[in-house]
């Protein structure tokens, strides 16, 4: 066990309600963990303890701490997020709240829609609307429209706003071109249709889970009695990342427990795009009987704060000290193109590991975005240098993974009655990925001769002319025919998830197709089976009546760009002890410090940009913002500066040895880069 500071010791033993305030790395979570340990050591049963964290990944840190203490048993210890708890409580108390919440058939058990299923349901609503001309002239892909419509629903609920209030805010605060109001009208129509279908069929997406929990359940005396009888001690970490709904939950129930401890990261609030309200969380300082200020930062030297000061002074016109900031810039890496930047960066990382004794797990490569081309260039270069790495991804589009496309191609060809006809390119790619000895040239040749795109079917290998068959080779042709016959034997009655499992386990993973274990393929198969299983189990309430309806919705949803919060692993299995590759917010929310950080594409505007969401403005929907205040260019500019300043401060307190600034002259579109962050850091770079 580590030695606690006097402030930590006092916070661990504080009675009643306490508020822990300080920057990341100042020991707040450590104090909360020791508080939890002390309660268990004093005989408090794990069943009576509730720990609320901001991210599901943060749960493991508490479990590991208790496990390493050698204390047990603690199986009943409840470590969860506000959203997970809301879903669990709504399911438990469903008969009590369903009718008053407006569900048409309260006797029908609820069907909880994961994010991917909610997207599929919204797809079915906007598809006919798009055909009728809705959202015309809006420069967004249909998948972006779906995501932003769900964002509006979710942000409304998480900000304790009704759907009508959220729609009114979007319209009343817009002062730009009038066409946007037409788009917002279409968005309101789609959102209301989605909500109507959910209420008619007992479907609960995230927004309805939160709305039912926040407006119905926690106001019931039965819930208060359950909560006060069950939980005697409440611990809340990173309350600044909680939404107004989550903060209201904590504020309303903190006095129902014997003790409550709330920790606030003074530089946090990174989930503002997901309705986090760091300003609203300030109220807990006055709500709590004791407040503790955590000042020293244990994860970064003071010079890193001065580097953050350089950026903040530039953006916010402050005058914080910056004298030693340049000491924390290890070096800069340049290149005309992104591939040149990566080519110059990797040898430097290899030297830091080999010569300076920095372990790969203590290096983080942080980028404002990780598009497919940059991710591929980076991972290929790391593999060539034999440097271990792993991708930290919060969400992804599965259609970007070639194996996902390949498996869906075989799924479609096995079910021609569904009417989904893969493109010839997809069939050739599927052949190349499914047969170990196949190569792209022979896969393309094979597809051009055996695949009938108009019918969505494969011909027998007997149809190949002898010269073509000779070029392909008899061993490969035998596997192609085996695959074709296996697909033709499917009768369409096998459940979707079972088919996908059988396709991989009983056929494509066999040694004759893949001599070595296909670990990446297994990860993709696992994701597809889980996703298909969720869809099949929720199909009836979603209005998908037949296997064909389910199969088409599954394939079309992924090909249309469905985004998942549980993406399949791309490429080889990740190495948890390797170099972390992450986007900005993924790294900050993970909360893991590093000795060396690489700020990739430092000159890119992506560091300063905020998501283009014309249908769902996260800042307008914030509960703490005046409802009728027009959204101005000045506010947009100020928020960008504030967010970037907070981002750099958050990175700085998680970095021990310094940063490498890596950038390219031209972005992926060939445009010259000179972003706000690069301009802000020029002073430190020049010194």
Q: What's the token pair of residue 343?
A: 């080519």
pLDDT, average across residues 156-179: 93
- Name beta bridge partners: 150: none
Residue 687 has pLDDT above 70, yes or no: no
pLDDT at 417: 93
Question: Which residues neighbour 550 within 8 Å (Cβ) at sequence distance 6 or greater?
Answer: 496, 535, 536, 539, 544
- Is residue 537 pLDDT above 70, yes or no? yes
Q: Which pLDDT band holds residue 39 (cuts at 50, 70, 90)?
A: very high
Q: Could you give the CA distance from residue 525 to residue 521 in angstroms, rounded to a whole number?
A: 6
- Number of C-beta neighbours around residue 496 at 10 A: 23
The closest alpha carbon to 276, from 643, 669, 671, belongs to 643
Q: Which among 171, 275, 116, 114 is positioned nearest to 615, based on CA atoms? A: 171
pLDDT at 571 over 60: no
Residue 248 has pLDDT above 80, yes or no: yes
Q: 67-71, 319-323, 622-626: which has the minimum mean pLDDT?
A: 67-71
Q: What is the DSSP string of 253-288?
A: HGGGSSEEEEEEETT--GGGGGT--TTGGGHHHHHS
**Tokens 């106001």 sit at which residue?**
219
pLDDT of residue 149: 96
* Sign of the four-CA dihedral 521, 523, 525, 531: negative
Q: Are residue 335 and residue 311 in the same domain, yes or no?
A: yes
411 and 526 together in one domain: yes
Distance CA 371, CA 396 (A): 10
Per-residue pLDDT at 80 exceeds 70: yes
Flag whether 372 is in a domain: yes
What pLDDT was estimated at residue 593? Answer: 93
Lowest mean pLDDT among 5-14, 67-76, 545-554: 67-76
Per the omega criterion (within 30 degrees of 0), is the bond before 35 cis?
no
Asked whether residue 570 carries a pLDDT value surpassing 70, the answer given is no
Task: Examine the pLDDT at 682 and tell me if it is beyond 60.
Answer: yes
How many whole angstroms separate alpha carbon 300 and alpha carbon 288? 29
Let me know whether 314 and 177 are in one domain.
Answer: no
- At 182 the pLDDT is 93
Q: What radius of gyration, in Å, describes the C-alpha atoms of the chain? A: 27
Q: With CA atoms as reference, report the closest residue to 527 among 393, 421, 373.
A: 393
In a domain, 101, yes or no: no
Residues 531 and 425 grouped into a single domain: yes
Return the bridge partners of 81, or none: 53
First to last CA, the chain: 42
Residue 216 DSSP SS3: coil
C-alpha triplet 656, 51, 299: angle, nearest 5° = 5
The band of 568, judged by pLDDT with boundaries at 50, 70 and 90, is: low
Is 392 a residue whose pLDDT tops 80?
yes
Q: Is the pLDDT of residue 672 over 60?
A: yes
What residues have CB less than 8 Å from 188, skipping those under 6 apart?
167, 170, 171
pTM of the predicted model as reported, rounded to 2 decimal places: 0.91
Question: Does one domain contain both 155 and 31?
Answer: no
| Predicted confidence band of residue 89 (pLDDT cuts 50, 70, 90) | very high
Is residue 105 included in any domain, yes or no? no
The number of domains in the chain is: 4
Residues 235 and 317 in one domain: no
CA distance 155 to 145: 15
Residue 213 lies in a domain: no
The residue with tokens 């994961």 is 114
The per-residue pLDDT for 129 is: 95
Query: What is the pLDDT at residue 376?
Result: 87
The answer to whether residues 428 and 546 belong to one domain is yes
pLDDT digits (tens, 9 = 90+) for 197-206: 999 999 999 9
Residue 591, classed as helix, strand or coil, is coil
pLDDT of residue 394: 75
In a domain, residue 214? The reply is: no
Task: Provide mean pLDDT across the span 323-349.
Answer: 94
User: What is the rounded average pLDDT of the residues 629-637?
Assistant: 93
Distances from the Cα of 83 to the Cαs of 124, 205, 346, in angstroms?
26, 11, 40
Q: For position 321, which CATH number holds?
A: 3.40.50.300
Q: Are residues 287 and 342 in the same domain?
A: no
Q: How many CB atoms lie within 10 A of CB 493?
A: 8
**Where does the pLDDT of residue 669 fall: very low under 50, low under 70, confident under 90, or very high at 90 and above?**
confident
> Which of residues 503, 537, 559 is at a domain's end?
559
DSSP assignment of 295-338 equals ---SSS-HHHHHHHHHHHHHHH------TTGGGGEEEEE--SSH
User: Which of helix, strand or coil describes residue 53?
Assistant: strand
Angle at which helices 474-488 and 402-413 cross, to 10°: 60
Q: Are 151 and 143 in contact (CB under 8 A)?
A: no
Contact 417, 609 (CB under 8 A): no
Q: What pLDDT does 628 receive?
A: 86
User: What proportion of the chain, given as a percentage, has pLDDT over 90?
Assistant: 79
Average predicted confidence (pLDDT) for the chain = 92
CB contact at 8 A, 153 and 568: no
141 and 118 both lie in a single domain? yes
Q: Out of 528, 559, 590, pick the residue that ends a domain.
A: 559
Mean per-residue pLDDT for 430-457?
Answer: 93
Q: Residue 64 above 80 pLDDT?
A: yes
Confidence class of residue 223 from pLDDT cuts 50, 70 and 90?
A: very high
What's the confidence (pLDDT) of residue 573? 61
Whether 240 shows a pLDDT value over 90: the answer reads: yes
Residue 287 lies in a domain: yes
Say how far apart CA 243 and CA 248 lie, in whole Å: 8
Q: Which two tokens stand for residue 16?
A: 């009643």
Whether 679 is covered by a domain: the verdict is: yes
Q: Of 293, 323, 338, which residue is a domain's last?
A: 293
Confidence of residue 268 (pLDDT cuts 50, 70, 90): confident
In a domain, 564, yes or no: no
Length of the chain: 687
Burial tier of 462 (Cβ tally within 10 Å: 0-12, 13-18, 19+): exposed
Please report, rounded to a whole number, the percentage of residues in the chain having pLDDT higher than 70.
98
- At 346-387, the pLDDT tens digits run 999 999 999 999 999 999 999 998 888 898 899 999 999 999
What is the extent of the structural domain holding 180? 113-203
Residues 12 and 61 both lie in one domain: yes
Same structural domain, 404 and 498: yes
User: Does 633 score more than 80 pLDDT?
Assistant: yes
- Backbone dihedral angles phi then psi of residue 217, each to the nearest 5 degrees: -70, -50
Q: How far is CA 647 from CA 56, 149, 281, 435, 587, in A?
A: 21, 27, 19, 45, 10
51: nearest Cα among 72, 65, 41: 65
Alpha helices in 504-631 (DSSP H): 519-538, 547-559, 584-590
d(CA 381, CA 681): 27
Residues 502 and 517 in one domain: yes
Is 548:121 a contact under the CB 8 Å cutoff? Answer: no
User: pLDDT of 251-260, one tens digit each?
Assistant: 988 888 999 9
| pLDDT exceeds 60 at position 310 | yes
């Amino acid at each position: 066990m580590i030695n606690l500071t006097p402030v930590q010791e006092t916070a661990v033993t504080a009675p009643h309600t306490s508020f822990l305030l300080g920057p990341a790395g100042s020991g707040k979570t450590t104090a909360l963990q020791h508080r939890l340990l002390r309660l268990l050591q004093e005989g408090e049963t794990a069943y009576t303890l509730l720990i609320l964290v901001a991210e599901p990944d943060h749960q493991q840190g508490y479990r590991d701490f208790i496990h390493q203490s050698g204390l047990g048993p603690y199986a009943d210890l409840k470590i969860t997020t506000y959203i997970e708890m809301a879903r669990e409580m709504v399911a438990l108390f469903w008969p009590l709240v369903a009718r008053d919440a407006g569900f048409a058939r309260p006797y029908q058990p609820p069907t909880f829609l994961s994010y991917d299923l909610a997207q599929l349901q919204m797809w079915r609503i906007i598809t006919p609307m798009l055909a009728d001309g809705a959202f015309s002239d809006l420069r967004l892909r249909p998948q972006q429209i779906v995501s932003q419509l769900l964002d509006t629903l979710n942000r409304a609920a998480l900000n304790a706003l009704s759907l009508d209030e959220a729609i009114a805010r979007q319209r009343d605060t817009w002062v730009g071109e009038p066409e946007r109001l037409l788009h917002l009208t279409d968005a309101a129509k789609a959102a209301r249709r989605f909500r109507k279908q959910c209420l008619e069929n007992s479907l609960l997406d995230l927004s309805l889970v939160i709305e039912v929990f926040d407006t119905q359940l926690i106001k019931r005396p039965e819930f208060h009695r359950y909560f006060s009888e069950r939980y005697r001690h409440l611990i809340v970490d990173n309350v600044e990342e909680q939404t107004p709904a989550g903060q209201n939950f904590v504020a309303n129930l903190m006095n129902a427990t014997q003790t409550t401890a709330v920790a606030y990261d003074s530089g946090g609030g990174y989930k503002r795009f997901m309705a986090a309200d760091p300003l609203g969380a300030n109220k807990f300082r006055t709500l709590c009987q004791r407040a503790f200020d955590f000042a020293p930062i244990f994860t970064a030297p003071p010079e890193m704060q001065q580097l953050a000061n350089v950026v903040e002074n530039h953006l916010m016109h402050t005058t914080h000290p910056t004298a030693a900031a340049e000491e924390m810039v290890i070096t800069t890496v340049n290149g005309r193109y992104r591939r040149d930047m990566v080519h110059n960066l990797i040898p430097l990382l290899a030297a830091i590991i080999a010569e300076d004794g920095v372990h790969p797990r203590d290096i983080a490569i942080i980028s404002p975005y990780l598009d497919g081309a940059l991710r591929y260039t980076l991972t290929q270069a790391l593999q060539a240098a034999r440097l271990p790495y792993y991708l930290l991804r919060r969400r992804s589009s599965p259609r970007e993974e070639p194996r996902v496309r390949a498996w869906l191609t075989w799924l479609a060809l096995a079910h021609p009655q569904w009417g989904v006809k893969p493109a010839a390119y997809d069939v050739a790619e599927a052949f190349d990925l499914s047969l170990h000895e196949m190569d792209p040239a022979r896969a393309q040749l094979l597809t051009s001769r055996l695949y009938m795109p108009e019918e969505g079917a494969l011909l027998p290998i007997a149809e190949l002319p002898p010269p073509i068959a000779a070029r392909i080779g008899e061993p490969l042709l035998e596997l192609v025919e085996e695959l074709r016959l296996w697909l033709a034997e499917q009768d369409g009655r096998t459940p979707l998830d079972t088919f996908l499992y059988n396709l991989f386990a009983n056929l494509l993973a066999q040694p004759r197709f893949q001599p070595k274990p296909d670990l990446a393929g297994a990860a993709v198969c696992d994701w597809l089976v889980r996703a298909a299983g969720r869809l099949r189990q929720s199909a009836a309430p979603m209005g998908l009546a037949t296997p064909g309806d389910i199969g088409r919705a599954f394939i079309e949803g992924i090909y249309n760009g469905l985004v998942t919060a549980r993406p399949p692993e791309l490429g080889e299995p990740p190495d948890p002890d390797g170099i972390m590759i992450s986007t900005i917010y993924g790294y900050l929310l993970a909360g893991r410090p590093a000795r060396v950080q690489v700020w990739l594409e430092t000159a890119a505007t992506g560091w300063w940009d905020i998501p283009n969401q014309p249908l769902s403005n996260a800042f307008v929907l914030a509960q703490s913002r005046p409802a009728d205040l027009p959204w101005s260019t000045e506010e947009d500019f100020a928020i960008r500066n504030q967010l970037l300043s907070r981002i750099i401060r958050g990175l700085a307190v998680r970095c021990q040895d310094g940063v490498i600034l890596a950038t390219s002259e031209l972005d992926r579109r060939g445009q010259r880069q000179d972003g706000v962050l690069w301009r802000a850091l020029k002073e430190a770079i020049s010194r």
